Chains A and B, each alone.
Chain A
């Protein structure tokens, strides 16, 4: 794998870490603590999905797991479960990255959205089976919709901020190796 390394091979991992740090930081800001606000999107998961579909080789699974475990612990979620689901979902998307490359964005969005929805459903199922109290269905649905809607925004941010656009089929890096 060392031969596949290029000068900017760390960029996707750095982009993911930076976006995750910013997302978690914004979440824990002690702005008004009045309950009843609408839940926001799960930006870390969306960033992982979008990056894994764009640069499957460059976003290590260990980084995803570590970031989501830290997020679990900081945001008072049951630790480990959501991280395991995000890792499974990102691996599923990683094996389909080559396929998605040739497809239009709408189809990619649908695929990622389905995987995200399936992961959230699986989380509710496991939490229900193990008897952990979980948020009511209404806010959870809003959370899912917000997460799905944030996908194009995150993709645009990755393109504008980090220059990570989708690779065309058969594209090569600056040393001529297939990406």
Chain B
């Protein structure tokens, strides 16, 4: 019996080793494939997440709610203090609301005088945060809305107040939001009173850094930071946060969105800007027909027609 076992193992061991080697090679091939053709593998990932995570919703949601409940209990201890603070803030807000209403009326009158065409108002889809990236090195959350709700890659995501991140990876029922704090996040922003353009670069800390700022002297801590809409990435004018100075003198942004409790998020429907294609007949009348400098254009147009 023992001899039989030994001989069987002697026969099986090289075969097993070869199979394990094959398995490792296959796994490494997946990694290489991901490195070469990332979008295809990422689509696979989105599909897998889409298949697995919504099925866990029944378990994820109660556990998250329970944890949030305990968090709330802790803050009940300071409820009186919070109440007075809120009353004071409410008083201030009433004053601001009055000011905002007056300004809105005045703004509407002025726009009417100028006959200005504004962009149609942004519409949004609201989703519930379903799951986390699960790793302290990646900052992203998973929403329970996806391609079937019309979500597309690259759309901006906000909580009630400020910008939270952008959609990156859409499944049928889920969509992943890369948060502004993720080390892969780069967002074009404008810093408000001075109107300077910069890039907001996440670096896995709670306050992302401001990069590519032309004259940092014009920027003070406390300045408002809004999205700039450069490069067609985001709609312009979404509130991001306030400038703050880091310990190393580096300018950072304190985000307006409450990252401590991301619960319901709005995904803003972005409409792509219409590209302007024809050369414009006013600038060069009849340019396509008799302009010798652009024969290729003429040929292309003839081919199209």
Footprint of B on A, CB under 8 Å? 1, 24-25, 27-40, 61-62, 65, 69-70, 73-81, 83-84, 87-88, 91, 130, 132-136, 139, 143
Contact = CB atoms under 8 A, between A and B. Distances in A.
B34 A78 contact: yes
B31 A84 contact: yes
B24 A139 contact: no
Interface in B12-65: 12, 20, 23-24, 27-35, 41, 44-45, 48-49, 52-53, 56, 59-60, 63-64
B34 A37 contact: no
Nearest to A132: B35
Say what secondary structure dominates the interface of chain A. loop
A136 to B, nearest CB: 8
B48 A30 contact: no
A73 B206 contact: no
B34 A80 contact: yes
Contacts of B105: none
A36 B205 CA distance: 6
Nearest to B60: A29
A74 B142 CA distance: 11
A29 B142 CA distance: 10
B260 interface: yes
B267 interface: no
B133 to A, nearest CB: 5
Q: How large is the interface on B (under 10, 10 to 19, 20 to 34, 35 or more residues)?
A: 35 or more
B139 interface: yes
A133 B183 contact: yes
B259 interface: yes
A133 B184 CA distance: 9
A67 to B, nearest CB: 12
B23 A80 contact: no
A34 B24 contact: no
A37 B136 contact: yes
B179 interface: yes
A87 B24 CA distance: 7
Interface in B95-145: 129-142
A33 B23 contact: no
B31 A76 contact: no
A33 B133 CA distance: 9
B181 interface: yes
Given A29-B60, A65-B27, A69-B27, A75 B134 contact: yes
B262 interface: yes
